[in-house]
Amino acid sequence: MTILSNGHFWKYSEFLENKNYSFEKKNISNSLSKEDIDEAYLNISSWKGYSPTPLIELNKLSKELHLNKIFYKDESKRFDLKSFKALGGAYAVEKISKGNKEIVVATATAGNHGRSVAWGAKRLGLKCKIFISEFVTNARGKAMADLGADVIKVKGNYENSLIECIKQSTQNNWQIVQDVAWKDYMLVPKYTMAGYTVMMKEIVDQIEQDKISHVILQAGVGGMAGAMIAGIARYLENIPKIIVVEPESAACVLESIRTGKIEKIDIKRESLMGGMSCGEVSLVPWEILKNSVKYCISLPDDDIAKTMKLLGNASFSNDKIIAGENSAPGVICLITCCEDSKIKEKMELNKDSNILLIGCEGDTDQEMYQKLIKQ
């Protein structure tokens, strides 16, 4: 009996192949150029305390799934913030401040993006205002206050916190640093994505001669996925198969890929995968995702806690990995695809495959992490 087949059935909700698939490096670089990507790496790699996060082999899991290698980018070690988000918001703060110490930055956030903005403001000695909804845990709010930000709790959901952020920022002339793009607000989200591409630069340096055949990318508004694809177009010679994974309750990329245009989801129930519980794909990443994603998968929350536990007790690798709720879905997606023989064959997941997974966060909410791994 193996770790995976131990009476457990790994579930996915929906699988979709993109009928508009066509990976065009040139089109991708129109959204995020080589210059944007190179500038972000040059800047961020010079920050105090910078070092690449580990790329861990899930050697026990690859053996069970009969794959060649599985690489897991462990963002729990990203600066002190334990998430890839540290690369985005903080870089956008640096870019928009242009050395001006007088500006005030503001953002609305579910947690990790705001921490990055607060941390970026602290690095540069800027004042920072963070708007959170009533659903953001006190622990996440406190983490941002501890970085010196004024944290303002707003009644209602994320959208309400964003509306209040825009209102107060307009009244007070604060600079909004949002990771989500909308019409007329594209530059800052582009900077955040440029920051995320640092992960891909590190990965190509770490992977040496292995060729990545598949990349599984979690998506909320799609910023991280879009950035990684831009990094792939910039740094890799081959084109791996790109798979996007989302919560079943908020599969906004999947629904948009299905119809070929941005579709808004009415989220009825917040997923445990909190950072990925987003109802609408952001404009800048959409331009990248719409053609370059080959497959989309949505997942229920059922296997999140179990997967966090298995990563945490070294069932999949030689070392223990602290993986938060948003890190588990990449692993679950790979397991369910391998357990479904039709999908496995379609995706060409076999003994020659080298899969890249993004462990996008560690225990960013320690209380929640402890609760889940003890279930």
Ligand X SMILES: Cc1ncc(COP(=O)(O)O)c(C=O)c1O
Which residues of the shown chain bind ligand X in the complex (CB under 6 A)? 83, 85, 112, 218-225, 275-276, 278, 326, 360-361
For residue 342, the minimal CB distance to ligand X (Å) is: 26
Rg (CA), the chain: 19
Q: In this structure, are residues 66 and 335 in contact, taking their beta carbons and an 8 Å threshold?
A: no
Q: In this structure, are residues 132 and 140 in contact, taking their beta carbons and an 8 Å threshold?
A: yes
| 65 phi/psi in degrees, rounded to 5 | -90, 0
For residue 240, the minimal CB distance to ligand X (Å) is: 18
For residue 84, the minimal CB distance to ligand X (Å) is: 7
Contacts by 125-132, CB closer than 8 A, 24 or more apart = 125/101, 126/93, 126/97, 126/101, 128/104, 129/104, 129/105, 129/165, 129/168, 129/169, 129/174, 130/106, 131/106, 131/107, 131/161, 131/162, 131/164, 131/165, 131/168, 132/108, 132/161
Q: Give the up-direction half-sphere exposure of residue 243: CA atoms within 13 A in the CB hemisphere.
A: 30
Q: In this structure, are residues 64 and 8 in contact, taking their beta carbons and an 8 Å threshold?
A: no
Which CB atom, from 143 or from 225, has the smaller least distance to ligand X? 225
Which CB atom, from 223 or from 231, has the smaller least distance to ligand X? 223
Q: In what order do the strands lie in the sheet with 55-57?
A: 14-17, 295-299, 241-247, 214-218, 354-359, 69-74, 55-57
For residue 166, the minimal CB distance to ligand X (Å) is: 19
For residue 59, the minimal CB distance to ligand X (Å) is: 23
2: amino acid identity, one letter = T
Which CB atom, from 265 or from 344, has the smaller least distance to ligand X? 265
**Which regions of 266-373 does DSSP assign to beta strands (E)?**
295-299, 354-359
Cα-based angle 83, 86, 92 (whole degrees, multiple of 5): 150
For residue 275, the minimal CB distance to ligand X (Å) is: 2
Cβ-closest residue to ligand X?
Answer: 275
List alpha helices for 173-217, DSSP H. Answer: 187-196, 198-207
Q: In this structure, are residues 286 and 262 in contact, taking their beta carbons and an 8 Å threshold?
A: yes
Q: How far apart are CA 33 and CA 55, in angstroms?
A: 25
Which CB atom, from 67 or from 221, has the smaller least distance to ligand X? 221
Which CB atom, from 278 or from 310, has the smaller least distance to ligand X? 278
Which CB atom, from 291 or from 364, has the smaller least distance to ligand X? 364
Which CB atom, from 87 or from 224, has the smaller least distance to ligand X? 224
Going by C-alpha positions, the residue among 8, 5, 102, 89 that lies closest to residue 44 is: 89
For residue 282, the minimal CB distance to ligand X (Å) is: 7
Which CB atom, from 249 or from 344, has the smaller least distance to ligand X? 249
For residue 273, the minimal CB distance to ligand X (Å) is: 8
**Which regions of 234-306 does DSSP assign to beta strands (E)?**
241-247, 295-299
For residue 346, the minimal CB distance to ligand X (Å) is: 24
Which CB atom, from 218 or from 336, has the smaller least distance to ligand X? 218
Going by C-alpha positions, the residue among 279, 223, 280, 202 that lies closest to residue 88 is: 223
